[in-house]
Structure 1
Amino acid sequence: MNEDSHLVETPLSRTELLRGHFLHVVRDTVRLPGGAEATREYVLHPGAVMVIGLLDDGRVVLERQFRHPMQAVMIEFPAGKLDQGEDSLGCAQREMLEETGYSAREWAFAGRLAPTVAYSDETIDIWFARGLTLGERQLDNGEFLDVFTATPADLRAWCFSGEVIDCKTLIGSMWLHNVLSGEWALQWHSGATASLAGQSTR
């Protein structure tokens, strides 16, 4: 018997509320564990990746980008959503190259985070990259961002001070700290062989 059965909601029906260029919003009717019905409105998401790029001098690759919902420029790790039919590593490699110009010799899958569990099914795969080579960025039309590098200590300080509030970047800083301290180990592979199966061990 499922030990969580007293918590699980059973989907009954779905209504589409919005299918925009970026967002797909639905309203599900569910049966609660107590037997009553309720509705749940949330965003369907194809999934995304985030890349923690490690330079040979110990610095990491970051971005500054204006985020309209927040009306502010945010400090973030490079990231982006999966295209249809795209695998996680392929997305990470594509986004890193397009946004920053960097390609990597080795990749390691770290883990997965769910940034907004109350109103979206989005998950973000966390990838580490090293052996970086800088080339030319390939930004999308209408995409404007600055790429810069910082020490892990700088990033931790910005997280503590509140200058960094982006959820995925806060989690990425935690991962980075634990990897660099030796507390969490990564399984590194060449870009051709890295996969979700090469998940880190903790």
Structure 2
Amino acid sequence: MDLFEKQLSTEVVHQGGFLKVHRDKVALPDGKEAEREYILHPGAVAVLALTDDEQLIVERQYRYPAGREFIEIPAGKIDPNEPPESTAKRELLEETGYTAQEWLHLGTAYPCIGYSNEKISYYLARRLTLSERQLDDGEFLEVLTLPLREVMDMSLDGRICDSKSIVGLHWLAAYLGGRMRGVPI
């Protein structure tokens, strides 16, 4: 069965600082037409920073669209012409003050397939060294170092509830359990 939807026309409904909203007319597999609204996103990275003694670096941050604080893994958007692995290293240092000697790419996921093309590349960072954070202007967050087991429990009892962090923790557990491999960067 062919499920492909062919773009017939497109218009930019909104152009923001880094998000762009489109409204397209598409031809459906049955020949009918429909509209699709979606957000173009530059892509993002998420980092699972694991200390030598099995502590995970997480952040507590207020997220305006949801109107609440979240505990989450470090993450950030990819700048134009920036390779994702460079973004991961930059974001970890900027937000937490950590650098890592060992990096593995765990995978890539699409968190919002119903309305966005955003994709998040996940990295495991190990052999960490703490230096000074370099937060962006207007960025406020608290860095927490928690036992990995506690963070995993937090993802099961709802204290960690953003999809980015849950996917990352799932893949980290699979990697540490020998059920998946990472790709060194």
> What TM-score do you get using the length of structure 2 for normalisation?
0.97
How many residues get paired? 185
Does residue 141 of structure 1 match 2:132?
A: no
Aligned to 2:152: 156
Could you give the per-residue CA deviations for residues 115-156 of structure 1, whole angstroms, max 9, x where no partner exists?
Answer: 000000000000111111000000011100000111221112
- Aligned partner of 1:111 in structure 2 is 107
Give distance in 2, aligned partners of 1:56 and 1:138.
23
Consecutive unaligned residues of structure 1, counting only runs of 5 or more, are 189-193, 195-202
Which of the pair is proportionally richer in strand? 2
The match for 2:7 is 11
Aligned with 1:65 (options 57, 61, 86):
61
Structure 2: tracts of 5 or more residues without a match = none
2:50 aligns with one of 36, 48, 54: 54
Stretches of 4+ aligned residues off by more than 4 angstroms: none
Deviates more, 1:103-112 or 1:20-29: 20-29
Q: Secondary structure at the residue paired with 2:126? A: strand
The percentage of aligned residue pairs carrying the same residue is 45
Q: Is this contact kept in 2: 1:78–1:96, CA < 8 A?
A: yes
Residue in structure 1 matched with residue 98 of structure 2 by the alignment: 102
User: Is 1:66–1:145's contact at 8 Å kept on the other side of the alignment?
Assistant: yes
Q: Which residue of 2 aligns with 1:28?
A: 24
Letter in 2 for 1:162: G
Match in the other structure for 1:40 = 36
Query: Alignment partner for residue 80 of structure 2, among 81, 84, 89?
Result: 84
> Over aligned residue pairs, what C-alpha RMSD do you find?
1.0
Q: Contact 2:108–2:119 (CA<8 Å) still a contact in 1?
A: yes
Does structure 2 retain, via aligned residues, the 8 Å contact 1:48–1:122?
yes
